[in-house]
Chain A
Amino acid sequence: MSGLHHMLVHFPIVLWLLAGSIMLLRLVRHTPEWLQMAGLLALALGVVTALAAMLSGLFAWAPEAVLASPLGRNKLAFALWTTAWWSMLLILHWRLSAILFAPGHRLLTAVLVLVGIVLVTITGTLGGLLGGVSAGIPELLRQAGFEVYTTIRLPWWALLVLVASGLGLLRLAGGERRQA
């Protein structure tokens, strides 16, 4: 089953990087409609294949083995965050479409896509390390402050800021609803 997982994980990586590139391109220049549709399709297929990859991953390694290893815990955390992030991008792209690329919204869209690309990169790196392969990214991450062999977890103050930021976002969402 681990072989199937190794095979499947390449699909969301490629599809999301493709979708992200198309979205970034659309932020800076006009793109034909077929390319926009291709981007949306790649985004959707990326989510579907990511879910399949996650499912195969659950069968490839015993959950107790994944949860007992810092690298396993980090991989699981980033796989969940990455899938959730790109699912969010899919929903936003699908529901908002042109709004995401309209003036005034482009910075937000660019940040969303770039964060998604970083998440995919980290998740892929962790997966590679679990398979015994390193492409030098762990050293870069270490220099940037993320030690891949230490379980990712936040101190209370950071969790509080995260919660406060999340509540602020929900408040913005609620404000827009009231205005609408």
Chain B
Amino acid sequence: MPTPRAITLLLLVGLLTAWLGQSLIGPPRPDGSPDRLLLPLQVQAAHDDERILIRLRWPTPEAHRYHDVLRFDGERWEVLGAGDAPGLGEERVSMMLDDGGVPEFARYGGYLLIGDGTRFMPGAADEADVEAHPILGQELGLSDIRKHLPDSRLGRWDEVPSTTALEAQRAAGYFLDLWHWRGDRGGPVNVVDDLHVAEHRHPDQGRSSYGTNWDDERGQPRYMFDPERAGQRALHAGQFDTDGMAPADTRFLTPDNRLDFDPEHDWQPGDTLPRRFLREADGSRADIEGHGGWENGWREVVFSRALDTGNPLEDKVIRPGGQYSVAFAVHSGGATGRHHHVSLPLSLGLDRPADIPVQRMPGGRPDWSRESREVMLFYPGQVNWPRITGPRHAGAEAVDQGIPASARHDAYQLALYGVEAEAEDAVVRRWLISVGLGLLFIVAVAAAGLSLGRRGP
């Protein structure tokens, strides 16, 4: 083959293979990242001057997932959680709400809350260090760092203002309301966990709608089903699908169908009890109801809360005519911890234009037949607030100027950035090799081209 054609052929083989290779490699898939980086969430809202209703729908294949269970292996009871067996890890949806008390929230949403030392992130604070901390550990009784607002720290996670200063921030409205529906914990009794985020993600005052069915001292469950009311003492292996923990017959431990656990019973391998029991919630923690169900592959949850709960240090007061900021998150398909899908912040307006308009309910009944707002949730990976505001983010100056995240990024882009941040070392290594070999290839093309001069036309 004449040399110019041979050069052309090798050049095209190299370049087209490189193009094909980069197009097939796709984004990195770090351990724990979901199969789908995006998840649609349909949102509607209504109010009647007394209560606000927020209807949320997202696709999920299962009607119910236990969050975790206790299973008898023939000798002892073991705890199985998400990741230990397919089918575990409850569905969850949460909404953070602000009334302007945290101005940055309207621009950056949940990113704002992932500060230095946060659990599940690089540089997570050591449990012993948190417990030994004079304010976080000794005064607040914390053992890890969770969501917290930037100004609740003076720098690193352990540089905390005085409790007096933190209380003043709270009184000034510097906190976020967090409504958290948990499919296996509270969801079955229509209670949404009412939480708030300030220097930590705290539960509101009162009792939650769920407890832990495990007696640490005795190493056994605390409750079992009452056979007279539930038909059996425990779920049997045959009541789950063959390779996982997806229940064919979902049962919950409630005050009406449970008895104290009987260790003398002839338990069989595979006997299973929910690790959570349900109970009546009370106080500020029980301010939000959550109704809904699952149908045709879609989970629906309708939050319902009084516009003013009377707990202004834990709940944001919502007023007709007001505009608020919200951000959503969904844990689906067994996702736990940070492996969720989140939204950028959106506006919520009562009787006024907003991303999510809250329309007045005619006759006190919501009209869900009107079109819903579809919010694209994305997997955020391991991107935290210090990274966003630090020298490793080219847009840090824009953040400092108050330019919202949505002005520069969309959900798809943020999902890709998230997984890349999580797998950064491996990505950068391969990128460097690819760039270097690309340059050497160009040198080879140049050498081959120059050789034509020796050959002549």
Contact = CB atoms under 8 A, between A and B. Distances in A.
Interface in A118-165: 130, 132, 144-147, 149-155, 157-159, 161-163, 165
B195 to A, nearest CB: 32
A77 B433 CA distance: 11
B3 to A, nearest CB: 6
A167 B443 CA distance: 11
B338 to A, nearest CB: 19
Contact of A151 (B11, B14, B21, B420): B420
Contacts of A132: 407-408
Interface string B429-442: 01101110111111
Interface stretch (B133-141, B240-248, B267-275, B386-394): B386-394
Interface residues of B, number: 67
B457 A99 contact: yes
A176 B448 CA distance: 8
Nearest to B392: A68
Interface stretch (A17-25, A44-52, A89-97): A89-97
Interface in A28-69: 61-62, 64-69
Contacts of B437: 154, 159, 162-163, 166
B7 A108 contact: yes
B18 A69 contact: no
Interface in A75-118: 76-77, 80-81, 84-85, 88, 91-92, 95-96, 98-99, 102-105, 107-108, 111-112, 115
B456 interface: yes
Interface residues of A, number: 66
A141 to B, nearest CB: 10
A14 interface: no
Contact of B20 (A95, A96, A145, A153): A145
A99 B427 CA distance: 42
Interface stretch (B24-32, B53-61, B313-321): B24-32
A80 B391 contact: no
Interface in B388-441: 391-394, 396, 407-408, 412-413, 416-417, 420-421, 424, 427-428, 430-431, 433-435, 437-441
Interface in B196-245: none
12 contacts: A62-B394, A77-B435, A88-B445, A96-B450, A96-B453, A99-B453, A107-B8, A111-B8, A145-B19, A153-B434, A161-B18, A162-B17
Interface of B: 2-8, 10-15, 17-27, 387, 391-394, 396, 407-408, 412-413, 416-417, 420-421, 424, 427-428, 430-431, 433-435, 437-457
Interface of A: 61-62, 64-70, 72-73, 76-77, 80-81, 84-85, 88, 91-92, 95-96, 98-99, 102-105, 107-108, 111-112, 115, 130, 132, 144-147, 149-155, 157-159, 161-163, 165-170, 172-177, 179-180
The 3 closest A-B pairs by CB, nearest first: A158-B21, A145-B23, A165-B14
Given A77-B435, A81-B442, 14 more contacts: A69-B393, A69-B394, A80-B438, A88-B442, A91-B446, A96-B450, A99-B453, A112-B449, A147-B416, A149-B413, A158-B17, A163-B437, A170-B447, A173-B447
